[in-house]
Amino acid sequence: MMVQGWASTPDLDSAKTIIATGAFDASIAARGLSGIRMLLDHDPALPAGVITKLETRDSKLWIEARLDLALPGVAERARLILRQKSHGFSVGARKQRWSRRDEHLLITHADLYEITLTPHPRNDACRLVFAEPPKRLWPDDLQRTYDELDEAIARTPRRTLTPTFLYGDAT
């Protein structure tokens, strides 16, 4: 199942923290997508899938990920998401450069090591934007059979049945 949304924005979160635009760019470049884990609820024992895209867009951090429904807890979470239960993203990072501004913390550089799928993100703006249900409903061998049948049906010329009418005497 594919999910997309904002993993981080420069909005003030519930912990009174602002993560500046581009704070993770160097970390993402250094680690690569494979070096950043996709988890459920920040639990290292609950991997959720793989991140397929992570980039700064419109001053926010955009994520696209593929959830692995075979992993523990992921299929149940996917069902909740598809039932329109509110979910979002949260980041796990080590702050590298930061400062105090009034009553909040401003993080300008951080080492991003995980992104989590959670029903309660700290930053309310980090909500799931899109969730695509899984396309495969069957085991691989059965799915191939259905795909082959669909292709065969698509190649078969369509015939239109024209009904035959018998007209009696009009008298």
How confident is the model over 69-94, as pLDDT tens digits? Answer: 999 999 889 888 888 778 999 999 99
Q: How far is CA 108 from CA 28, 60, 80, 98, in A?
A: 14, 13, 34, 6
H or E, element range at 111: strand 104-118
The answer to whether domain 2-155 has CATH 1.10.3470 is: no
CB 111 within 8 A of CB 92: no
Tell me which residue of 127, 117, 3 sits closest to 65, measured CA to CA. Answer: 3
3-state secondary structure of 53: strand
CB atoms within 10 A of CB 33: 15
What's the DSSP call for residue 139? -
Residue-wise pLDDT tens digits, 121-135? 999 999 998 888 766
Strand-pair partners of 4: 64, 130
State the average pLDDT over residues 104-114: 96
Strand-pair partners of 34: none
CB atoms within 10 A of CB 119: 13
Segments making up each domain of the chain, as ranges: 2-155
Q: How far is CA 61 from CA 28, 91, 109, in A?
A: 11, 10, 13
Half-sphere exposure (Cβ direction) of 169: Cα atoms closer than 13 Å: 1
Question: Which of residues 151 and 16 earns the better pLDDT score?
Answer: 16
pLDDT at position 139, please? 67
**Distance between CA 23 and CA 79 in Å, rounded?**
33
**Distance between CA 81 and CA 63 in Å, rounded?**
16
Question: Which of residues 112 and 139 earns the better pLDDT score?
Answer: 112
